[in-house]
Structure 1
Amino acid sequence: MEHLQFSRREFLAQTMCGAGAAVLSGTAFAEGAKFPPTRVITKGPRHHWFGYYDKLQFDPTSRYVLGMEVAFEHRSPRADDVIKVGMVDLEDNDRWIELGESSAWNWQQGCMLQWMPGTESTIIWNDRENGQFVSRILDVKTGKGRTVPSPIYSVSPDGKTAVTPDFRRIQDVRPGYGYPGFPDPQFKDLAPKDSGIFRVDLETGKSTMILSLDEISKTGTIPKQQKDIKHYFNHLLFSPDGSRFITLHRWQYPNGKRLSRMITAKPDGSDVRVVVDNGFVSHFIWRDPEHILTQSKATPDSRSWGDFLVRDETGAKLNEVGKGVLDGGGHLTYLPGNEWILNDTYPKGKERIQTPHLYHVASGKRIDLGHFHSPKVYTGEWRVDTHPRFSPDSRYVCIDSPHKNEGRQLHLIDISGIVGTS
């Protein structure tokens, strides 16, 4: 089905009489404008990006926007490649403020840089020190910082706990999502007992393994099971209330292909649930503590992927959302209030156009936020996915893009005229 693209005027006309009227009362963007206002908030000659879509890029005031800075592109990072960590001040001519550096990063997810939930001015990111991966915690106002002797992936809503996979394992099976420099000591073991997911106490620094690859390889039914498949975890995310977390249990075949299951568990690794067990699951986001929006297939034999809302329960039923309208391959988040879904696309067509977009849940309508060209050189490990992130006040969306032929930079899209914020 062709994607539905509506101008602001058309969208209002079709939805003001419906359930979406309350959230569509904001000021429209400029008359005749195809897309909302956008500006590039970083500039060359160095390249800037943020990485994944499910991290807090904006501070609680929506004024400061986190990012990373690097001097090169178009190759894999090495262990001695150092990037700068910083933030953009949107109220001071988009001034770049350097905050630190990291040598534990990748192109897709950076160094897990993010604002610490539950704090006003504290950030966290991954780095390496004395032969191991660590995380840095910094108060950007006071300049006080400390080091936690473990890397992190997802941070709990209260900012006290993190969960993390084994980045050495990921680098071995999926370069571009782990960090180079420290080989997986158990790369020959298909499902080791002492590698998996770790819970990190961010106050004490203590790290405890809570779910092993050996355990998960024996949990439930694994589609297309073979004796020679290699197991690993990737993509972790706490629920909005911190009561559970999601991870993808993935396994790689000798030919390099892989399948995935969606797993949820309590922060101590107990009450493990195989939520999506068909082998086909990708990007996801919590809608609320009981529901997850994820990309999967309606059946294992289906040719196309879609976006499905599922309950956090074993063997959850797949209920498709926005079929034919909401892109089935993008990076999904809910804006505060859950009335809008923010998403994007991979490069499409000969022009390799990426299209971040909003989907209005009540009306089923989609509004595209822009068309961003991704040159062909941005492919594979060093591709630039837009990975749209929203500000806490729902006024802005920030994306990564090399659209203006200035290398990867941060682009800010003002969506206030669409969702009704000011």
Structure 2
Amino acid sequence: MQNPAIQRLPLPCRRLGDGKYHHFFGYYNKSPWDRSDRYVLAHRVPMADADLTPDLVAQIGYFDTRDGDRFRTVGETRAWNWQMGAQLQWLDGAPGRQLIYNCRTDDESAFYPGLGAAICDVENGALRYLPMPVYVVAPDSRYALCVDYRRLYVTHQTIGYSDDSSLRARPSLDLAPAHDGIHAMEIATGQSRLIVSYQDLRNFHPVPSMDKAIHWVSHIEINPSSSRVLFLHRWTERVEDETCFLHRLITVNPDGTDMRLLECSDHPLPQLAGHFDPDAVGTFDYEKSEYQISHPLWKDDTHIIVWGPHDGSIHYHLYEDRAGGEVTVIGAGVLTENGHMTFSRTHPQWLLSDTYPDAQTSERVLFLYDVERGMRFDIGTFYTSPDLKKENRCDLHPRWSRDGRQICIDSIHDGDRQMYVLDAGSVAA
């Protein structure tokens, strides 16, 4: 029987671009629109699917929605992946219209040799380079937070960068080094410093499952006022099997002080038994795990929306960022599976999210949830090929326009990897 709190409300949807190339933006956590809601950032590639090597190039540019969606190229990169692209994003706090993206460089003396970031001023085409690849830039554009993408390629290949053209070699890594972790880099100067090390994290409220595990961080996000950082601390003894990943949700100041543990999903791992076959794990089994903490994002300066377990059950949860802060279930009985969630900045009663593919139909649902009324509106369904591997899949990763009237997704339902815009003005504005 249909849940009365879930209604079907398809919204008008159009593709960006002429379809001669493939386009995607990447993750759900940033808006591809500039401040004027005219220009939409995108990566352009000649193929819909490929195993990534360091030689594959993605063009960097944007669609001009007031000029027939004309795509304008501003650069190119060989530091990207299908999930997050090159961490392409607007520098909202910078003057004019500037964007930043990760790239490969010739600087082998950099902290992460050969990897950095490029800043393009789209008004005059000027480029300048920074000595570290960025994960996320603060909304005020004063600093970025940076991690080792080669480490991510070992621990969580989907969001890492490889240096090996054969895609076979994975370097051995220290389990929890003291010299590496999350770095804060000044956008103006490129100067950086380590604010949280992997050793710090292993020693912060430790649990026995950390002792023999390799540690890393992901899903780093900065609150709207640029004053507070959230991230997921993850660890495992078996990197090849994501169902063996363990998770914590942590917040910290941008200088590394006042670190707080908001949630820990440490749990027994029968998968570590010698007879367990990690190849038997389905593409989306990890995303649907009852223990996973995933896709956290700031609702405002003091609250975080996340999918994960708390007090023995898994839901969309809203965390208050303070010791012993309140944790509230969002959408009990309605929002029942993992997704990529974002609150509207202009109309914060609206939560935008999606689902992973249905096991039988391979359809993903895109929906809006009205927190005030407890109503979910399914605004579109989109097919994805079950033949895509985990590293190459095309999640919807829905994102708001700045005025909260449009939604942008990546999708491959027409056979091409493209970006689509849905008109949400009649519903969410």
What TM-score do the two structures reach when normalised by structure 1? 0.88
- SS of alignment partner, residue 225 of structure 1: helix
Cα distance in structure 2, aligned partners of 1:95 and 1:48: 13
C-alpha distance 319-381 of structure 1, shift in aligned 2 (>3 A): same
User: Is 1:264–2:251 an aligned residue pair?
Assistant: yes
- SS of alignment partner, residue 216 of structure 1: helix
Which range is displaced more, 383-392 or 272-281? 272-281
Tell me if structure 1 keeps the 8 A contact 2:185–2:193.
yes
1:326 aligns with 335
C-alpha distance 185-383 of structure 1, shift in aligned 2 (>3 A): closer
1:59 Cα deviation after fit: 0.5
1:311 aligns with 320
Higher RCO structure (Cα 8 Å, ≥6 apart): 1
1:237 to 221, 231, 234: 221
Identity of aligned residues (%): 34
- SS of alignment partner, residue 289 of structure 1: coil
Cα distance in structure 1, aligned partners of 2:336 and 2:118: 36
Tell me if structure 2 keeps the 8 A contact 1:2–1:324.
no
Cα distance in structure 1, aligned partners of 2:79 and 2:408: 23
Amino acid at match of 2:186: D
User: Is 1:84–2:69 an aligned residue pair?
Assistant: no
1:139 aligns with 121
2:27 aligns with 52
- SS of alignment partner, residue 209 of structure 2: coil
Amino acid at match of 1:143: G
The CA RMSD over aligned residues, in Å, is 2.0
Amino acid at match of 1:93: G
2:263 aligns with 276
C-alpha distance 268-185 of structure 1, shift in aligned 2 (>3 A): farther
1:213 aligns with 198
Tell me if structure 2 keeps the 8 A contact 1:276–1:315.
no
Correspondences of 1:28-177 after superposition (within 5 Å)? 34-119=9-94, 120-130=96-106, 131=108, 132-177=114-159
Cα distance in structure 2, aligned partners of 1:226 and 1:145: 42
Cα distance in structure 2, aligned partners of 1:6 and 1:107: 32
Amino acid at match of 2:67: D
Tell me if structure 2 keeps the 8 A contact 1:50–1:66.
yes
Cα distance in structure 2, aligned partners of 1:156 and 1:248: 17
Which range is displaced more, 100-109 or 331-340? 331-340
Which range is displaced more, 343-352 or 356-365? 343-352
1:328 Cα deviation after fit: 3.0
Tell me if structure 2 keeps the 8 A contact 1:58–1:392.
yes
User: Is 1:346–2:356 an aligned residue pair?
Assistant: yes
Tell me if structure 1 keeps the 8 A contact 2:15–2:420.
yes
1:193 Cα deviation after fit: 0.8
1:2 Cα deviation after fit: 5.4
C-alpha distance 164-188 of structure 1, shift in aligned 2 (>3 A): closer
C-alpha distance 229-314 of structure 1, shift in aligned 2 (>3 A): farther
Instruction: Write the deviation string for residues 73-115 of structure 1: whole angstroms up to 9, x where unpaired.
Output: 4332101111101111111111111111111001100000011
- SS of alignment partner, residue 215 of structure 1: helix
Amino acid at match of 1:231: H
Cα distance in structure 2, aligned partners of 1:315 and 1:229: 28
Give aligned pairs, total.
389
User: Is 1:386–2:368 an aligned residue pair?
Assistant: no
Amino acid at match of 1:178: G
Cα distance in structure 1, aligned partners of 2:326 and 2:203: 23
Cα distance in structure 2, aligned partners of 1:341 and 1:97: 31
2:7 aligns with 6
1:11 aligns with none
Cα distance in structure 1, aligned partners of 2:51 and 2:339: 23
2:375 to 365, 369, 377: 365
2:174 aligns with 189
C-alpha distance 70-262 of structure 1, shift in aligned 2 (>3 A): same
User: Is 1:248–2:223 an aligned residue pair?
Assistant: no
Cα distance in structure 1, aligned partners of 2:67 and 2:40: 12
Cα distance in structure 2, aligned partners of 1:6 and 1:96: 36
2:286 aligns with none
Instruction: Write the deviation string for residues 210-244 of structure 1: whole angstroms up to 9, x where unpaired.
Output: 1100011010143x625321111111110111111
Instruction: Write the deviation string for residues 109-160 of structure 1: whole angstroms up to 9, x where unpaired.
Output: 0000011122441111000101421111111112122111111111112111
1:185 Cα deviation after fit: 10
2:413 aligns with 403
Cα distance in structure 2, aligned partners of 1:378 and 1:392: 31
2:277 aligns with none
Cα distance in structure 2, aligned partners of 1:101 and 1:291: 36
Instruction: Write the deviation string for residues 284-331 of structure 1: whole angstroms up to 9, x where unpaired.
Output: 11111111111111345x4xx310011112454432101122353100
Cα distance in structure 2, aligned partners of 1:188 and 1:386: 32
- SS of alignment partner, residue 380 of structure 2: coil
- SS of alignment partner, residue 369 of structure 1: strand
Cα distance in structure 2, aligned partners of 1:154 and 1:370: 29
- SS of alignment partner, residue 39 of structure 1: strand
Instruction: Write the deviation string for residues 312-351 of structure 1: whole angstroms up to 9, x where unpaired.
Output: 1245443210112235310011102311111011111422
User: Is 1:285–2:294 an aligned residue pair?
Assistant: no
1:172 Cα deviation after fit: 1.2
